[in-house]
């Protein structure tokens, strides 16, 4: 009895340690991510009159017109959305977002006196977008956000046929367009470049360079293909039961998860073993559990 209790206590202690480690790692990622966003804004974008989308973009425009520090607008404009997120989405998400926004605002205030690294707007748009995107991606991957428009988009998407991405893009179309009237249309176009680069960098940080992909294969040679995927790619496979809609024949469907770098090899394996096989490959944002392991995800 005592042994079983001590084992349970040990397992509970290990779980608490893991929980604390994950929590600390999330906090560090939020701090680092928010710091990178501050650098991207104050060292690259803002000095060159280049804006980002969302609340950040509106804040940059208002700071330019009123000469009030950018950090004040970042906090004030995000607060209503944070309160909305707290009630509608969840306490953890809202507090993580508030923590990240405050860090970003303080960072922009501290970095404002620092001289810009470059006055070339194209270089500023490219490198500012890269740094900004990495920072935002780290914060999102840690469970937070840096922009209130994303919260609104999440809530609207639940009651409309539009996705979160489409709604955010709609908002940003007007925000980035307004930069043309305030800073000139050249700077508005540089802002679009920065926004696009940041958008792609966010995807890379969240999904990783070695993005996961789901695979469905329908073939009469399912056993041969399944064994080849297992032994030549080192990936596990699952056989699902299917039925042909036209013929009514029973079919075996191979399901597996691979990385983006293994996609070409998988296609060659399937083509080699059955040229008539049906193959479908889709992107996956996250994978957890089972035998699938990806080195760049911790």
Task: Read off the pLDDT of each residue in 174-197 and give the average, rounded to a whole number.
Answer: 90
The separation between the first and the last C-alpha atoms of the chain, rounded to the nearest angstrom, is 36
Model confidence at 197, in pLDDT bands (50, 70, 90)? very high
Residues 28, 11: Cα–Cα separation, whole Å: 26
How many C-beta atoms lie closer than 10 Å to residue 195's C-beta? Answer: 24
Quick one: angle between helices 164-183 and 148-157, nearest 10? Answer: 140
Model confidence at 9, in pLDDT bands (50, 70, 90)? low
pLDDT at residue 224 in the model: 92
pLDDT at residue 297 in the model: 36
**Bridge partners, 251 (sequence order):** 242
Name the token pair of 146: 């840096």
pLDDT tens-place string over residues 210-223? 567 899 999 989 89
pLDDT tens-place string over residues 243-279? 777 776 788 899 999 877 788 889 989 998 998 899 9
Strand 278-284 versus strand 250-259 pairing type:
unpaired
Domain 212-284 has CATH 3.90.230.10: no
pLDDT at residue 212 in the model: 78
Domain assignments of the chain as residue spans, ordered by start:
2-207, 212-284
Question: What is the chain's mean pLDDT, rounded?
Answer: 83
pLDDT at residue 294 in the model: 53
**Bridge partners, 241 (sequence order):** 252
Residues 37, 130: Cα–Cα separation, whole Å: 10
Model confidence at 18, in pLDDT bands (50, 70, 90)? low
Q: Which residue has the higher pLDDT, 142 or 2?
A: 142
């Amino acid at each position: 009895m005592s042994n079983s209790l001590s084992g349970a206590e040990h397992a509970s202690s290990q779980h608490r340690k893991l929980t604390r480690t994950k929590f600390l790692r999330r906090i560090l990622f939020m701090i680092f991510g928010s710091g990178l966003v501050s650098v991207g804004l104050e060292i690259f974008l803002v000095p060159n009159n280049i804006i980002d989308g969302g609340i950040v973009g509106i804040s940059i425009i208002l700071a330019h017109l009123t000469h009030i520090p950018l950090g004040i607008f970042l906090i004030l404009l995000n607060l209503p959305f944070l309160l909305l997120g707290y009630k509608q989405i969840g306490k953890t998400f809202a507090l993580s977002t508030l923590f990240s926004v405050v860090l970003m605002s303080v960072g922009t205030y501290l970095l404002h006196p620092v001289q810009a690294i470059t006055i070339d707007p194209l270089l500023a748009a490219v490198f500012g977008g890269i740094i900004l995107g990495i920072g935002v991606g780290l914060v999102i991957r840690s469970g937070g956000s840096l922009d209130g428009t994303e919260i609104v988009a999440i809530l609207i998407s639940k009651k409309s046929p539009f996705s979160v991405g489409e709604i955010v893009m709609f908002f940003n179309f007007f925000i980035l367009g307004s930069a043309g009237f305030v800073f000139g249309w050249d700077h508005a176009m540089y802002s679009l470049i920065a926004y696009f680069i940041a958008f792609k960098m966010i995807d890379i940080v969240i999904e990783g360079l070695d993005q996961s992909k789901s695979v469905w294969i329908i073939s009469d040679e399912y056993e041969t293909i399944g064994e080849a995927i297992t032994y030549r790619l080192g990936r596990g496979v699952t056989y699902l039961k299917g039925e042909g809609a036209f013929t009514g024949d029973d079919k075996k469907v191979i399901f597996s998860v691979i990385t983006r770098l293994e996609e070409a090899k998988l296609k060659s394996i399937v083509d080699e073993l059955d040229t008539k096989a049906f193959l479908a490959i889709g992107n996956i944002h996250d994978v957890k559990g089972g035998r699938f392991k990806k080195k760049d995800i911790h």
